[in-house]
Structures are given as C-alpha cells and as structure tokens.
Amino acid sequence: TDAVAFTGANQAGIVTPAQDRLHFVAFDVITKDRERLIKLLRDWTAAAARMTAGRDAGTIGAVNGIPEAPPDDTGEAIGLPPSGLTITVGFGPTLFRDAAGKDRFGLAAHLPQALEPLPKFTGDTIDDTISGGDIAIQACANDPQVAVHAIRNLARIGMGAVSVRWSQLGFGRTSSTTTGQATPRNLFGFKDGTRNLKAEETDLLREHLWVQAGDGPDWLTGGSYLVTRKIRMLIETWDRSPLAEQEMIIGRTKGTGAPMGMTGEFDEVDFDSVGADGQPLLATTSHVRLAHPHTNNNARMLRRGYNYVDGSDGLGRLNAGLFFIAYQRDPRKAFIPVQRSLAANDEMNEYVRHVSTGIFACPPGITGTDDFWGSALF
Ligand code: HEM
C-alpha cells in the first residue's frame, strides 16, 4: 500500500519489487508539434509524480473543481492508497524517425543505435496493430484499479497529442526482482524469475541493466532498454502434456523449481550430468539451458513480465499467456541473442506464440520537480 519514490537516478518500476498488477500502454504521437510533445511529457511527469504519491492526477482533483468543467482526475482511485504504483516511460524508434525515415520532432540525431525494431524471429506470428508505438508507459501497482486509473488519466491528459495504439492488462507478476520476494508462477504452473537479475546485485545491474556513460547516446545514461513480447500460451495443449515432459521442456522441476538433477530452487543449473539413459539431465532443448547466460555469451536481462488472460477465443480456448517484459543495457547483447537461441531450439515453442513485439528506450530517473521524462532529449 506504500508509495514508491518517483524521483531517483533511475526510473522506478524497473528494479522496484515487482508489483502484482500491470497496465501497459503504447501510444502513437499524433501531434506534429515539437512544443506540444514537450508540454505533454511535462504534464505527464507531473501527473505521474502526483499519482504515484497516492494523489489525484491533476492539481484540483476529482471532485473539487467547478461543476461546469470535466474534473482533472477521473475519480476511481479516490480513497485508495498509492498501492506501490510505479509509472515507467520508454520511447520507441518511431518517435525519432517515421517509417519513411523522416525526422518527426528534431530528435533523429538522438536515436540510439540499439533502438532498432526487433528482428523477425523464427516462428513469430506478430500482429502489428498490437506492436510497437512511439511512447510506452508501464504502470504497475498492487491494486489493479490504481494501475488502470494511472493509464486512463495519462491517456486523458494526452488527448489530442497522442492516441492509444494498444494496451495490455496483466496480473500475477511472473518474476521476482528482489531477493526478498518469493518466486511467483506463470500460467504453465512453473516458478518464474528464479535466475533473474535482482535489485540487490548492483554490480550486475551496472553491467547488464543500466545504460552507462559512453554507451551512447548521453541522454540515455542511467536508462535502460525495454523489450515487450506478448506471448500467447497454448494452455489446453500444455495441460495435456505429462508432468515429466513439462519439466523436461522447462529444465526445472514444477514443485520446487530446482534445476534438473538438483534439489533446491536456487541451486546452480547443472549442464553436464547425464542420466541412466545416457542423455543430459538438462535437455539440450530445454528453455533454461537455451536461455542461460552460459549458452548466450553471458547475456543477462531483468525480466518483469505478467500473466494475462484476455477472456477466451471463441473456440473455447483461453486467450492467455505471458506479457513478457525485459529491461537491459543493450538488447543486441541480451534479448536478441537469447530469443534467437530460443526461437531456433526451444521445445517450448510448440506451446507458445509470440503475437506482439515492442522495443523502447527508457530515459534515466526524474531528478526533481523541474525535470520531466526525456528532458535531456530536447
Ligand atoms: C527462465 C518460463 C519466455 C528468458 C525461465 C524459467 C521459466 C521460464 C519457468 C525458469 C525460472 C527462472 O529462472 O526464471 C518462460 C515462459 C515463457 C518464457 C513460460 C514464454 C511464455 C522467455 C523469453 C525469454 C526468456 C521470450 C527471452 C528471450 C529467460 C531467461 C531465463 C528464463 C534469461 C533464466 C535462464 C537462467 O539463467 O537459468 N523462463 N519463459 N524467457 N527465461 Fe523464460
């Protein structure tokens, strides 16, 4: 129920202990006016600072204004505590240059080299209408009403300057981002987030999470790259597969989450041991082997995904899966090589479909009341 600090060297909502609920939105910027964009980012930052402190989005409030005007807060969070709300912003490649290569807001010179649309991976079934976007906002909170209230009010404030391209609700965090949190489970029923980067591992965060001075461009120092993938899970097919096969596919046991051949959840993954049948205990096609830093030139990322269920699909199947979120210092050294390795060989591919993709550069944290998201860009 407590408030999470909005200001800091890095944006909140990345190493913040993963909250239970997500509302993620991607906007298209529809104004052509650079000053209007700057004003929007200022207004958004101010509203986010208020809402994360448990206050109304606007300075007047939901019920204190004149009766003739629409309120500057929508009201559904009246009386609710801050609920750990964090609001995290990222800029997509299309904010800097449109598809035709045109510099939209005088920002093209600031486009980070690593901020390329993700490549197409083997097996991708991406729906462009729920992918990409110029600006992404991740709202996480321990109360879904608080997360939805935040996104709703930011969209309201952006009216005329941005339009919502797509959005996604999520529940039941599928990762732990601190050592103090118990590891939650994803919709396959497995613990997820065991070998994640954790907030306490500051050396590793410097090496793998935060953009460092000299990485380029300067405005992004202290920021991070955000990758989103909506991954539908073929739940009914998975539920018909035997326990041993499920465990073989993941590379961990379903009960404790211990790596194959080991006993404790946090035991090191054993790549080498061989079973009585002469096969490695950790299957060569298992998710954990293929995603592990050993297999990927020491690639690490901070995963922060959420389960989703968007009802059912009309064929009696759950329209459900994992809204995968990962933060990293350089996607070319983290998400992209790991996903290539998974796309090529992961036995899990039979049970999942990647339906949406996104990449965003998240600026560093807000330093004080005069600062705003992306201020160093303008
Ligand atoms: C580990 C599930 C997609 C990267 C794991 C684990 C599970 C899991 C159960 C073991 C627990 C852990 O260490 O966190 C899933 C499911 C996915 C999915 C159900 C899709 C629906 C992805 C994707 C990536 C990825 C798309 C990145 C390209 C990783 C990494 C690890 C991991 C880096 C840790 C490997 C290690 O260091 O041992 N995943 N995952 N996962 N996954 Fe996934």
Q: pLDDT tens digits for 224-268?
A: 999 999 999 999 999 999 999 999 999 999 999 999 999 999 999
Task: Decide whether any atom of ligand 1 lies within 6 Å of the 231 Cβ.
Answer: yes
Ligand 1 atom at minimum distance from 257 CA: 11
Residue owning the nearest CA to atom 6 of ligand 1: 192
- Please give the structure tokens belonging to residue 153: 């009010």
pLDDT grade for 62, boundaries at 50, 70 and 90: very high
Which residue of 125, 173, 195, 350 sits with most ligand 1 atoms within 8 Å of its CB, as the best mutation to test the pocket?
195
Convert 55-75 to b/e letters by CB count within 10 Å (16 or more is b): bbbbeebbeeeeeeeebbbbe
Verdict on whether the full-model pTM lies above 0.95: yes
Residue 267: CB atoms within 10 Å: 14
Residue owning the nearest CA to atom 33 of ligand 1: 291
CA 342/CA 122 separation, integer angstroms: 9
Positive/negative CA dihedral, 345, 347, 350, 351: negative
Task: Decide whether any atom of ligand 1 lies within 6 Å of the 351 Cβ.
Answer: no
Q: Which pLDDT score, from 0 to 100, does residue 179 have?
A: 85
Ligand 1 atom at minimum distance from 233 CA: 21
Q: How does pLDDT run across 157-193, given as a tens digit for each residue? A: 999 999 999 999 999 987 888 888 899 999 999 999 9
Which residue of 173, 175, 288 sits with most ligand 1 atoms within 8 Å of its CB, as the best mutation to test the pocket?
288
**Is 81 part of any domain?**
yes
Which residue of 173, 179, 192 sits with most ligand 1 atoms within 8 Å of its CB, as the best mutation to test the pocket?
192
Task: Decide whether any atom of ligand 1 lies within 6 Å of the 44 Cβ.
Answer: no
State yes or no: pLDDT of 137 exceeds 80: yes
**How far does the centroid of ligand 1 lie from the alpha carbon of residue 91, in Å?**
25
CA 280/CA 273 separation, integer angstroms: 6
**Mean pLDDT for the stretch of residues 318-322:** 98
**How far does the centroid of ligand 1 lie from the alpha carbon of residue 234, in Å?**
16
CA 263/CA 177 separation, integer angstroms: 22
Task: Decide whether any atom of ligand 1 lies within 6 Å of the 269 Cβ.
Answer: yes
Q: Which pLDDT score, from 0 to 100, does residue 288 have?
A: 97
Residue owning the nearest CA to atom 23 of ligand 1: 339
**Block residue for tokens 């090496």:** 207
**Is 338 part of any domain?**
yes
CA atoms within 13 A on the CB side of 14: 31
**Is 291 part of any domain?**
yes
**Is 152 part of any domain?**
yes
**Is 376 part of any domain?**
no
Task: Decide whether any atom of ligand 1 lies within 6 Å of the 323 Cβ.
Answer: no
**Is 313 part of any domain?**
yes
**Is 13 part of any domain?**
no
**Is 236 part of any domain?**
yes
Residue owning the nearest CA to atom 14 of ligand 1: 193
Q: Which pLDDT score, from 0 to 100, does residue 280 have?
A: 95
The answer to whether the peptide bond before residue 217 is cis (omega within 30 degrees of 0) is yes
**Mean pLDDT for the stretch of residues 294-306:** 97
State yes or no: pLDDT of 45 exceeds 80: yes
**Mean pLDDT for the stretch of residues 44-62:** 97
Residue 324 sits in which domain range? 21-361
**Mean pLDDT for the stretch of residues 347-375:** 97
Residue owning the nearest CA to atom 28 of ligand 1: 339
Task: Decide whether any atom of ligand 1 lies within 6 Å of the 194 Cβ.
Answer: yes
Q: Which pLDDT score, from 0 to 100, does residue 362 have?
A: 98
Tell me the one-letter amino acid at 331: P
State yes or no: pLDDT of 21 exceeds 80: yes
Q: What is the number of domains present in the chain?
A: 1
Q: Which pLDDT score, from 0 to 100, does residue 176 have?
A: 83
CA 341/CA 290 separation, integer angstroms: 6
Q: Which pLDDT score, from 0 to 100, does residue 175 have?
A: 80
End-to-end CA distance of the chain: 35
Residue of 28, 166, 27, 32 lying closest to 107 (CA atoms): 32
Average pLDDT, whole number, for the chain? 96
**How far does the centroid of ligand 1 lie from the alpha carbon of residue 23, in Å?**
21
Q: Which pLDDT score, from 0 to 100, does residue 162 have?
A: 98
Task: Decide whether any atom of ligand 1 lies within 6 Å of the 271 Cβ.
Answer: no
**How far does the centroid of ligand 1 lie from the alpha carbon of residue 192, in Å?**
7
Task: Decide whether any atom of ligand 1 lies within 6 Å of the 247 Cβ.
Answer: no
Task: Decide whether any atom of ligand 1 lies within 6 Å of the 233 Cβ.
Answer: yes
**How far does the centroid of ligand 1 lie from the alpha carbon of residue 215, in Å?**
27
**How far does the centroid of ligand 1 lie from the alpha carbon of residue 198, in Å?**
15
Ligand 1 atom at minimum distance from 335 CA: 28
Contacts of 322 (CB under 8 A, 6+ apart): 174, 186, 187, 230, 231, 233, 305, 306, 307, 308, 352
Q: Which pLDDT score, from 0 to 100, does residue 193 have?
A: 94
Residue owning the nearest CA to atom 15 of ligand 1: 192
Cα separations in angstroms, 152 against 62, 67, 187, 209? 13, 21, 27, 29
